[in-house]
Amino acid sequence: MQNLSFLVIEEVPDTMTLDTFIAGPLQSLTPRQRRDLLRKLAVFTQTMNAGGYVNSEYHWRNILVQKSEDGVGFQVIDPSGSRLRYKLRYPYFDLATLDVCAPFFFSRTERLRFFKQYQGCSEEKLTSHLKKKVLAILTLRGKIAKKELKRYRKILPNHRL
């Protein structure tokens, strides 16, 4: 016999999943609003990871974008993969998962700016240590991309699977 668990929460008003937001309203944002969105997502993700909270289900479909007077905020749903312990590879996994579909919607510059903001790096060029982190994230992204891209095929522009 299989046991099922459910978590019932209140509705979070004025929200949509990040994948829905990226496929729709993102297209109408100004460059400044796009930078602000990525900056806030980087800070949100970094704060979550720095606090020891990692989520093996940190996919676009499990992140809510909440509109506010200050722009947007984020909430994580589907906490089934959440961990309150820190392991070195998990933040890489969170970043790799976020980056699977990002090349279809964000430029390399925007993605690099996101990574630098996540790292708290204000330098123009990446250090060799940060370059190794980027390589580790891209390698991990490659391992999970095929499975994830199938889930997002409806929102990906001009993508053949």
Ordered by start, the domain boundaries in the chain are 15-151
pTM of the model: 0.82
Cα–Cα dist 18/40, whole Å: 13
Cα–Cα dist 9/94, whole Å: 24
pLDDT in tens, the chain (161 residues): 566 655 666 777 888 989 889 888 888 889 999 999 999 999 999 998 887 777 777 888 889 999 877 778 898 886 655 555 555 556 688 899 899 888 888 999 999 999 999 999 877 889 999 999 999 999 988 888 887 777 777 666 665 44
Cα–Cα dist 54/83, whole Å: 5
Per-residue pLDDT at 161: 42
Per-residue pLDDT at 111: 94
Nearest to 138 by CA among 93, 106, 105: 93
Per-residue pLDDT at 159: 52
Per-residue pLDDT at 24: 86
Burial of 11 (0-12, 13-18, 19+ CB in 10 A): exposed
Fold adopted by 15-151: Transferase(Phosphotransferase); domain 1 (1.10.510)
Per-residue pLDDT at 90: 61
